[in-house]
Structure 1
Amino acid sequence: MPVLLESVDPRGVATLRLNRPEKRNAFDGELVAALHEALQRLGERNDVRLLTLEGAGENFCAGADIDWMVRGAQKTLYENEEDAFALAAMLLRLDRLSKPTLAVAHGGVFGAGVGLIACCDIVLAGDDAYFSLSEVRLGVTPAMIAPFLIRAIGMRQTRRLTLSGESIFAEAALGMGLVHQVRPKGQLNAARALIVEGLLGGAAGAQADAKDFLERCQGRPVDDELLREAAHSLALRRSTDEARERLRAFLDKGRGAKDAV
């Protein structure tokens, strides 16, 4: 049975579903490698407009597979480091994907699973979802996901969740900005469809450029240098065929509505 299920619909909506339900979709080396490869390949496909990330079964992702971690503890320091870096490289690939990303979380979301959603542009959670950084209770740390999590929810909340290992529920995750929407579990598919429809309404090139520029803004002061970069970025985007066609279509639509009145 494949550890990762992949599909792309006619609209260009790619779906990756973690498929180790008997392990609550916990990561092992095989799943990390499969997800990294799929993200790289889908990111290079021009016909893919956006990516949704989901989990099979009753949980989104239980973090790292305990058996995998126990086996890793028997390896050399170098081998351990390479295993950890493979997970980090996969998360970075997801974080830097040029296409919009949507995580749909339900049930348990632990450790590296929290890292996955922190790397996605939009996170939709069922009201049954709960989140935990339980690594310290196992004698380890969430080092590989920490940079992404700090950016998503800030240092104070990351410290709290990392040090306590406590579980928080969907509404609390919403309040701290870890997720963007919470819906009853039975309404997740409908809510997902609305978000996907909205994302498909954007121009693919503009979305990719927006993600790139927002990344370049991260941690920088708002000064003349950044604003000059912003002006240059916008000027380049306005000159693209995509922008010209979209702006012309918007104006034509407005004129048509006026004529109809």
Structure 2
Amino acid sequence: MLQTLEVGYGSQTAVVWLSRPDVRNALDARLIDELMETFTTLAADDNVRAIVLAGRGKVFCAGADLTAMRASAQASEAQNQTDAMRLATLLHTIYTCPKPTIARLHGACMAGGLGLATACDVAIASRDTRFALTETRLGLIPSMISPYVLRAIGPREASRWFLTAEVFDAAQALRMGLIHDVCEVEDLDTHINGILENVLLGSPNALRESKRLIHEVAGQPIDAALLADTARRLAQLRASADGKEGVAAFLEKRKPAWVATPTAE
């Protein structure tokens, strides 16, 4: 039974709620483990085609749990390596999830919470959201989250926020590409439902392969090998059941079989 999360289901969607509002949804070992278990389960659930990650209470996630931080200060390097790998593995699990993932941000998104947000495919924030990478002020570095933050904003932009640990607002996060959209907090669910509706017009197979395409093609040299690889990917999709259904539906001016109306409740 989940103790730190709640999972709600809509039409072909799931909303995973961080549910430790009394500690601002801070990340501890149990929450990390339950997130890994939940994302693994949802990834294998054919009834779920998209996942929203959200936080109960006043904030999305304030970062690391204070009790866990105290314990880490007393632990050995080997013990800290094991503990750090837990978060690293969770972020990779979210990043490689075959389903589209959307981070629903409000209030505060700090440190490890920013890792959760940038591991998702899409991030939407309320206008009141504040962000920070505060690790250097604790004598630490934003290490496990860095691959995802750097992927989102690039090394030049990251330099300022990694080194200064300044708090910045949603408008700044939008300008630097950390998030995709900003809206009023009361409009978050409506805004995200609109994105879900568009996402779920795509076929399950095409969505999965689009994520794989982004991960595997980004940063590659545009050479003969890449040309052949991208041609192969499209050829496989054209010959697939979803590819044939999608083209047939377009030509017959009807909706393809996979289309439904999603909700995020």
The answer to whether the superposition gives a TM-score over 0.5 is yes
Matching of residues 112-261 of structure 1 within 5 Å: 112-253=112-253
- Counterpart of 1:201 in 2: which secondary structure? coil
What is the match of residue 68 of structure 1?
A: 68
* Cα distance, 1:137 vs structure 2: 1.0
Q: Distance in 2 between matches of 1:218 and 1:235?
A: 20
**1:58 Cα offset (Å):** 0.4
Give the superposition deviation at 1:8. Answer: 2.2
* Match of residue 3 from structure 2: 2
User: Could you tell me which residue of structure 2 aligns to residue 13 of structure 1?
Assistant: 13
Q: Does 1:45 align with 2:45?
A: yes
SS in 1 for 2:125: strand
Residue equivalent to 1:111? 111
CA distance in 1 between counterparts of 2:77 and 2:247 reads 56
2:263 corresponds to: none
Percentage of pairs with the same residue: 37
Structure 2 CA distance for aligned equivalents of residues 149 and 188 of structure 1: 22
Number of aligned residue pairs: 253
Letter in 2 for 1:96: T
Show CA shifts across 1:132-190 (max 9, x none).
Answer: 00111111111110111111100011111111000110010000000000001121121
- Structure 2: gaps (5+ residues): 255-265
One-letter amino acid of the counterpart of residue 8, structure 2: S
Asked whether 1:94 is paired with 2:87, we answer no
After the TM superposition, list the runs of 4 or more consecutive aligned residues in structure 1 that deviate by more than 2 angstroms. none
1:7 deviates by 2.1
Q: Deviations over 1:63-117 (max 9, x none)?
A: 1112211111211211110000000000000001111011110001000100111
SS of alignment partner, residue 247 of structure 1? helix
Q: Structure 1 counterpart of 2:143, which letter?
A: A
Alpha-carbon shift at residue 44 of structure 1 (Å): 1.1
**Partner amino acid for 1:178?**
L
Shift of 1:118: 0.7
Structure 2: distance between partners of 1:2 and 1:66: 18
TM-score computed with the length of structure 2 as normaliser: 0.93
Q: Give 3-state SS (helix, strand or coil) of 1:154's partner.
A: helix
Which one-letter code corresponds to 2:123 in the other structure? V
* CA–CA separation in structure 2 for the residues paired with 1:97 and 1:196: 16
How far does residue 129 in structure 1 lie from its aligned partner after superposition? 0.5
- 3-state DSSP of counterpart to 2:143: coil
- TM-align CA RMSD: 1.1
SS at match of 2:178: coil
In the alignment, the residues of structure 1 paired with residue 140 and residue 99 of structure 2 have an alpha-carbon distance, to the nearest angstrom, of 33
